[in-house]
Amino acid sequence: MFAAIVFAVSVFLLFDAWIKEHRAPGSTQPATSTPVPAVTRTEPPARVELAPANSSRTEAVAPITVRTDLFVAQIDPRGGVLRRLELLEHKDALEHTQNFVLFEEGQGHIYVAQSGLIGEGLPNHTTLYRSDAAGYEELKAGQQAISVRLVPAERNAAAPGVVAQTITFRRGSYLIDVEYDIANRGSTPLKADAYFQLTRDGAAPAGTSRMAPTYVGGAIYTESSKFKKVSFSDMDKGKVDYPRQATDGWVAIVQHYFLGAWLPKGGTPREYFARALGNGLYSVGVIVPVGDIAPGASARVDVPLYAGPQEQKKLAALAAGLDLTVDYGWLTVIAVPLFWVLGWIHGWARNWGLSIIILTVIIKLLFYPLSAASYRSMAKMRLVAPKLQKLKETYGDDRQRMHQAMVELYRTEKINPLGGCLPIVVQIPVFIALYWVLLASVELRHAPFALWIRDLASPDPYYVLPVLMGISMIVQSWMNPTPPDPVQAKVMKIMPVAFSVFFFFFPSGLVLYWLVNNILSIAQQWQITRALEHARPANVSR
């Protein structure tokens, strides 16, 4: 039963990983151009389509570089697009000496944040801007914010709107404020809307494990529909299901450990969109109406952009449901409290590996009464093994009579043959939930434990923990009763080796949890078996 349960769980995880790996998200070859919204509408229809256009950028413009305590950002003066965003407190998945880059255009990869205006003569994210700022701006000591103000390089004299775009970075924050100031210098009301979008190719982030692929795609949240994934494959098929109109919520593109999300202010109407742009590009975003601007009047619209790690506490404080981008799968109800307890332990242990060990001990103590009853049943099965063997010799191939005799023996000895499976069955949901906690929580990314374990979210580079776990499983199999069926007996001998191979690809933090759990189980089972063996002559007849 133990072998069957572990095998079933392993097959489930591997099959789920295989499905995600082979589900084609569409071509991931990036295009040389980015989508341009239709900016010619004169009145707001029920739905706004942002149609891509092939707009070549013939004029090379040097980017504006901004450095803060958390970012090194590059702003393209053409459109004010955030084309590169380097996170200074997070390292690259493959090159641990280099910083992680979230937004990037180049090297066969596109992930950018774009924004613009929709209305007569208003600039969009392909408009060339100019800035009074120097080519390199740095947040200085004591300075709390730094802003880059952009105005169109060439103003159309016939256009009624005068626009300025301001991008603001703040100390200690992954929020980037993007703001538009629009002044109507015409003689008639100016109709305007603002759009904010994220554009990305469909490729998985570098360093993603083929054995444990994670979600990469769009996400939209509203209070009415809650958290909805909008996958790239669904965008390719045109089978997207999400709320178009709302007065709350946010839109994001999520990848392993990180996300970019536009967070419009609550209470304002907005329209969400998500679509495949062709050439392997996908876009999700939000349109926020500015309204009619009277002649001589001005209006302002701003939407913050979150671009950073999926730190759950910080995300939950920024916007309702934003912490749901940390995907714990179908066992979220177990995974969330597990992570909370793990984080609480880490608050004073200051080591995620040690925190996992302490969490394992806590789980083992909670399940102790259940485990004790189970191991007691297994110990009794071990003690009556000679009698079971004698029944097998007595009845030979008469399976019906042998089964009846075994049932009678179990009744006499007060043994539940399935009692030994209960703690394994109960622990399987905890095991899977902890698997997703270790896989999806950015707090454990590159978190060291000790010696050679430098990243608890990655497999053990030398396979020491999986081998030790395999040895612990072999010891457990020696302590368990030998199955009367010789085929089952052989399978039980092979399983520890087979499952050790599976664990080669699991996060080392998860293998650490299972190893410590096995050691504690061995100690508990040995103590219970020893006590029953000493007590048997006094109360159990042979």
| 467-495 pLDDT tens trace | 898 888 888 777 666 655 566 666 666 77
Q: Residue 459: pLDDT above 80?
A: yes
Q: For residue 86, what pLDDT is reported?
A: 95
Confidence at residue 369, expressed as pLDDT on a 0 to 100 scale: 74
pLDDT band at residue 72, thresholds of 50, 70 and 90?
very high
Residue 213 pLDDT greater than 90, yes or no: no
Q: What pLDDT was estimated at residue 134?
A: 66
SS3 state of residue 426: helix
- C-alpha distances (whole Å) from 307 to each of 141, 194, 259, 263, 497 are 23, 20, 6, 11, 43
Q: How confident is the model at residue 317 (pLDDT cuts 50, 70, 90)?
A: very high
> Which tops the pLDDT comparison, 23 or 523?
523
Residues 377 and 383: their CA atoms lie apart, in Å, by 10
Say which residue, 325 or 120, is predicted with more confidence: 325
Asked if 329 contacts 318 with a C-beta cutoff of 8 angstroms, the reply is: no
Q: Of residues 59 and 73, which shows the higher confidence score? A: 73
pLDDT band at 36, cuts 50/70/90? very low
Q: Determine the average pLDDT of the residues in 126-134.
A: 83
What's the pTM?
A: 0.78
Q: Spell 124-143 as b/e; 16+ CB within 10 A means b.
A: bbbbbbebebeeebebeeee
pLDDT confidence band for 34 (50 / 70 / 90):
very low
Domains and CATH numbers, the chain: 2-12+335-539 (no CATH), 63-206+214-327 (2.70.98.90)
Q: Are 250 and 263 in contact (CB under 8 A)?
A: yes
At residue 214, the pLDDT reads: 81
How much is the pLDDT for 55? 39
Tens of pLDDT along 352-400? 999 999 998 998 888 777 777 666 666 666 667 677 777 777 776 777 7
pLDDT value at 22 more than 70: no
pLDDT at 241 over 70: yes
Long-range CB pairs of 98-107, under 8 A, 24+ apart, other chains included:
99/72, 100/258, 102/258, 102/260, 102/307, 102/308, 103/260, 103/307
> Which of 45 and 62 is assigned the larger pLDDT?
62
**What pLDDT shows up at residue 260?**
96
The pLDDT value recorded for residue 39 is: 34
| CA–CA distance, 475 with 483 (Å, rounded to integer) | 16
| Mean pLDDT, rounded, for 79-102 | 90
pLDDT over 60 (residue 40):
no
Give the residues across from 194 on adjacent strands: 117, 288
Question: Residue 227 above 80 pLDDT?
Answer: yes
Q: Is 93:178 a contact under the CB 8 Å cutoff?
A: no
Given this model, what pLDDT does residue 305 score? Answer: 97
The pLDDT assigned to 120 comes to: 83
pLDDT reported for residue 445 = 86
Q: What is the pLDDT of residues 153-184, one digit of tens each?
A: 877 666 777 889 999 999 999 999 999 999 99
List, for residues 409-458, the tens digit of each pLDDT value: 777 766 666 655 666 677 778 878 887 888 888 888 888 888 888 888 88
CB 339 within 8 A of CB 352: no
Q: What per-residue confidence (pLDDT) applies to 327?
A: 82
Residue-averaged pLDDT of the chain: 79
Q: What is the DSSP secondary-structure string of 495-506?
A: HHHHHHHHHTTS
pLDDT exceeds cutoff 70 at 229: yes
The percent of residues above 70 in pLDDT, for the chain, comes to: 76
Q: How many CB atoms lie within 10 A of CB 525?
A: 23
3-state secondary structure 112-155: EEEEEEECCCCCCCCCEEEECCCCEEECCCCCCEEEEEEEECCC
- SS3 at position 217: strand
pLDDT-derived band at 211 (thresholds 50, 70, 90) equals low
More confident residue, 336 or 37: 336
- Once rounded to an integer, what is the mean pLDDT over residues 54-61? 51
CA-to-CA distance for 110 and 286, rounded, in angstroms? Answer: 19
At residue 171, φ and ψ (nearest 5 deg) are: -60, 135
Judged against a pLDDT cut of 60, whether residue 287 lies above it is answered with: yes
| CA-based nearest residue to 114, from 212, 13, 200 | 200
pLDDT of residue 111: 94
Which residues fall within 8 angstroms of residue 250, CB to CB, at 6 or more apart? 220, 221, 261, 262, 263, 264, 286, 319, 321, 322
Task: Quickly list DSSP for 357-411.
Answer: HHHHHHHHHHTHHHHHHHHHHHHHHHHTHHHHHHHHHHHTT-HHHHHHHHHHHHH
Nearest to 163 by CA among 298, 303, 39, 305: 298
Decide the pairing of beta strands 245-246 and 250-255.
unpaired
3-state secondary structure of 520: helix
Lowest mean pLDDT among 23-37, 265-279, 401-415: 23-37
Q: Which residue has the higher pLDDT, 206 or 217?
A: 217
Contact 219, 254 (CB under 8 A): yes
Tokens of 362: 């806590």
pLDDT of residue 68: 94
Span 63-79, mean pLDDT?
92
Strands 64-67 and 136-138: parallel
Tracing tokens 């419009």 back to the chain, one arrives at 264
Are residues 146 and 66 in contact, defined by beta-carbon separation less than 8 angstroms? yes
